[in-house]
Amino acid sequence: MRHAQFALILAAVAALAACTPPQVFTPYRMDIQQGNYISQDMVSQLKIGMTKEQVRYVLGTPLVADIFHADRWDYVYYKDPRRGPREGRKIAVVFENGRLARVLGDVVATESKSDPAPAPAAPPSAEPPKAQPESQKPPQ
């Protein structure tokens, strides 16, 4: 009889051990951030024609520097919070002749209405117009 009770208790414990317990206690999961955090404010500071040093000052050192595309810098950012969906951003800045030409990716630069477009500069070889003497001006 004792062996039957022991076997029954042992079977009950084995059956309960196979069941998953309620998740009262969960392990701690920390927020994981990887890459360069790029905000909309940082991207808004970018202006076409900036040098590589100026872009590096605004955005930081690029995460990916491709040896085959030296004029393209990639900034990648992922945040995996404890709770909630994974957040990710990808930005690529493209340079032409050492100057910023394009910004590609999830966060794009916005045009500021307070900053008017700069006037095109005159070529350095152009001379200023000469004033005409009074005798050569047309009569009014």
- 122 inside domain: no
Domain total of the chain: 1
Q: What is the C-alpha to C-alpha distance for residues 5 and 27, in angstroms, rounded to an integer? A: 37
- 13 inside domain: no
DSSP conformation class of 95: E
Q: Which of 48, 53, 59 is nearest to 117 (CA)?
A: 48
* Percentage of the chain exceeding pLDDT 90: 19
CATH number at residue 48: 3.30.1450
* Per-residue confidence (pLDDT) for residue 9, from 0 to 100: 86
Q: What is the mean pLDDT of the chain?
A: 76
The boundaries of the domain holding residue 37 are 29-110
Residue 109 pLDDT greater than 60, yes or no: no
Q: What is the pTM of this model?
A: 0.55
pLDDT band at 31 (very low <50, low <70, confident <90, very high): confident
Query: 123 to each of 29, 120, 127, 128, 129, how far by Cα in Å?
Result: 60, 9, 9, 11, 14
- 53 inside domain: yes
